[in-house]
Structure 1
Amino acid sequence: MLPVFLVTFPFFALIAAGYGAARARILPLDAIPGLNAFVLYFALPCMLLRFGAGTPIGQLLDGSVALVWGLGALAVVAGVVAFTRNARVGWNDGAFGALVAAFPNTGFMGVPLLVAILGAQAAGPMIIAIAFDMVVTSSLCIGLSRLDGVGAGAAGGATQAARKALRGILVNPMPWSILLGVLLSAARWQLPGPLERTVAMLADAASPVALFTIGAVLARSALLAREHDASAAVAEALGTGVQPAPRAPWGDVLPVVAVKLLVHPLLIWGLGLGAIALGLPLAPAALVVMVLVASLPSASNVSMLAERFGADNGRIARIILWTTVVAFFSFPLAVGLLH
């Protein structure tokens, strides 16, 4: 257990460093979008491209992995939406709660962490998981988030959300970098030397900057929520009629944290064992990778999506924060049990 913790500790320490830097305002909050853009548009696509190009095409197109991961993600979305919707949580908040429960932080955290633990062979299942979550899981949850209301208005909102989701996929460089990596792997081509070294330099920057950015994003969400509540309280005291935004109760937060870190990995494990029992060609090593990916904390970009679509971003940010805190202890335990 100690060797696993020694491997995982630096990754969580970088998240804590980013959190502390933003909370102390050493890192200006206005600088965080720039860090996020560097990771999203440059470093992480280069890392995915390099892993994709270096992974055998059979692993990148593993239908058994895609089936198990997809069924697990859809089951989590359906379950969370069904069991968390109440008088406070409508379709919009319920859908983004489902997304934050089903969408692990595979890109920013999982790829560098699991490659460090399991080796480069872990990249194939993770690339499949990233592609499915970005294209299918995210689009489904965005569509569900538009179902508040009835009639043609709701249908129009869902259609508009589908267009936004498709546009978001098309302008996101990560799916394109995955596709290019798959094509390079299939053709057994290599990038020219100078371009390969450029890609490698950006890819090497992805892990530390991405982890630092996760912490900074979490700190920014907490700081902005606190500042908003303080200013709203002052305005209320002055009689301006501004009310503080209601804070989601723990009953709307902790169950989703439990689903993300406990139910999701157990579900993937059960589906994988079932697939193997049915004779599907699912490699046990690929199943281990998928279970560990499901054990990761929630993806930090779900908070930005929730804010964009008008969901309770404070609730989503708290879920992401607590899955990250708890995963500091639960993820090494999962690695120790499986690896």
Structure 2
Amino acid sequence: MLSILFVTFPFFALVLCGYLAARRGLLPQLAIPGLNTFVLYFALPCMLYRFGAGTPVAQLLDASLVAVYLLCALLIVAFTVMFTRKGRIAWNDASFGALVAAFPNTGFMGVPLLVALLGAQAAGPAIVTILVDLLVTSSLCIALSRLDSADIHGAEVAAQNALKGVALNPMPWAIVLGALSSGLGLALPGPVMQTVGLLADAASPVALFTIGAVLARSQMNSTQATPLRDYVPVALVKLVLHPLLVGAVGLGAIALGVPLQRSALIVIVLVAALPSASNVALLAERFGADNGRIARIILLSTVLAFFSFSAAVALLT
């Protein structure tokens, strides 16, 4: 367990550094969007391209893995929406709560962390989950969030707009280009690849620092107190129920003869055990949801994940 903490501690420590820098005013709030832009449009796509190019295409096209992970994501979304809708929470807030319960922080945190823990072979399954969450999970939740003020046509428009947003997101394209490079045996020219490598190496530390800064900004800008019952259960769904469900469904699929490798199953269980994706707070703000509640779920899941994720790694590896 101690050896695992030696690996996970620096990742969560960088999140804490970003959080403290923003809280103490060392990093102006106006600078945080610039960090987000650097990570999202430059560093992270280069990292995903490099991992995609170094991963066999068969891993990136693993239908069994996609089916198991997607089924669990849909179940988590449905469950979270149902139990939050029973209270005072409307469709908009319930949908974004479901998104943070089902969408792990795989891009900013998970890929580099899992590679550090399990080796380069963990990149392929983790990248597949990013595509599922970007293309399906986020689009579905955004569409559901529109049901408060629109009919089914409004939800369809919201889903279309979400897919347009995905099309403008450089991460899926970086993964696709990396997969094409892997499948066709292509390689970028040496100087270009060195540039990509430098940006890729910057992705992990800057992304983790940015996560902390984004969480601090969301907390500082929140003007409304959120009852514990509105965010603690969702954080526990993310950290406990989601990985347990992925593990159970995956083992059931293997028992039924589905060609899912146990090593890939371990990776996606650990992906599910990651804290909530920090970019959901930005989406919630954009669509008028209770951003304070979403930020609290993300912050709590990130703090607790230092212990719960490390425990999951110790149990599974």
Structure 2 length-normalised TM: 0.98
CA distance in 1, matches of 2:182, 2:259: 21
The structure having more radius of gyration, on CA atoms, is: 1
Mind listing any 5+ residue stretches in structure 1 that lack a counterpart? 230-244
Is 1:219 aligned to 2:197, yes or no?
no
Q: Would you say 1:138 and 2:138 are equivalent positions?
A: yes
Q: Find the counterpart in structure 2 of residue 40 from structure 1.
A: 40
CA distances 1:291-328 after superposition (whole Å, capped 9, x unpaired)? 11000000000001011111111100000000000001
Aligned partner of 2:306 in structure 1 is 328
Q: Does 1:262 align with 2:259?
A: no
What residue in structure 2 maps to residue 237 of structure 1? none
Whole-angstrom CA distance in 2 between matches of 1:144 and 1:204:
37
Q: Distance in 2 between matches of 1:81 and 1:168?
A: 23
Is 1:176 the equivalent of 2:191? no
Alpha-carbon distance between aligned partners in 1 of 2:52 and 2:179, rounded to the nearest angstrom: 6
Cα distance in 2 for partners of 1:288, 1:159 equals: 35
Provide the C-alpha distance between the structure 2 equivalents of 1:87 and 1:60, rounded to a whole number of angstroms: 40
Specify the code of the residue in structure 2 equivalent to 1:222: Q
Instruction: Tell me whether 1:54 sits opposite 2:61 in the alignment.
Output: no
2-side partners of 1:163 and 1:307: how far apart?
19
Matching residue within 248, 252, 262 for 1:284: 262
1:184-263 alignment runs, 5 A limit: 184-225=181-222, 229=223, 245=224, 247-263=225-241
- AA partner of residue 184 (structure 1): S
**Percent of aligned pairs with the same amino acid:** 66
Q: 2:27 maps to which residue?
A: 27
Q: Distance in 2 between matches of 1:74 and 1:191?
A: 37
- 1:156 positional shift: 3.9
Q: Name the SS of the counterpart of 2:259 in structure 1.
A: coil
Instruction: Classify the secondary structure of the residue corresponding to 2:274.
Output: coil
The 2-side partners of 1:283 and 1:155 are apart by: 39
**Letter of the structure 2 residue corresponding to residue 180 of structure 1:** L
Instruction: Provide the residue aligned with 1:108 in structure 2.
Output: 108
SS of alignment partner, residue 151 of structure 2? helix
Classify the secondary structure of the residue corresponding to 1:260.
helix
**Aligned positions of 1:58-73 closer than 5 A:** 58-73=58-73
Report the 3-state secondary structure (helix = DSSP H, G, I; strand = E; otherwise coil) of the residue aligned with 1:73.
Answer: helix
Once the two structures are TM-superposed, the CA of residue 167 in structure 1 deviates from its matched residue by 1.6
* SS of structure 1 residue aligned to 2:275: coil
| Aligned residue number for residue 127 of structure 2 | 127
Secondary structure in structure 2 of the residue aligned to 1:299: coil
Residue 162 of structure 1 deviates from its aligned partner by 1.8
- Give the Å deviation of 1:148: 1.1
Question: Secondary structure at 1:271's aligned position in 2?
Answer: helix
TM-fit CA distance, 1:160: 2.8
Amino acid paired to 1:177 = A
CA offsets 1:169-209 (integer angstroms, 9 cap, x no match): 11110010011011111111111111111110000000000
2:72 is the counterpart of 1:94: no
* Runs of at least 5 residues in structure 2 that lack an aligned partner in the other structure: none
Query: 2: distance between equivalents of 1:275 and 1:182?
Result: 26
1:62-117 CA distances to partner (integer Å, 9 max, x unpaired)?
A: 11110110011001001001111135201111110000000000000000100000
Q: Which residue number corresponds to residue 160 of structure 2?
A: 163
Runs of 4 or more consecutive aligned structure 1 residues displaced over 4 Å after TM superposition: none
Give the drift of 1:164. 1.9
| Number of residue pairs aligned between Structure 1 and Structure 2 | 317
User: Counterpart of 2:177 in structure 1: which amino acid?
Assistant: L
Pairwise CA distance, 1:248: 2.6
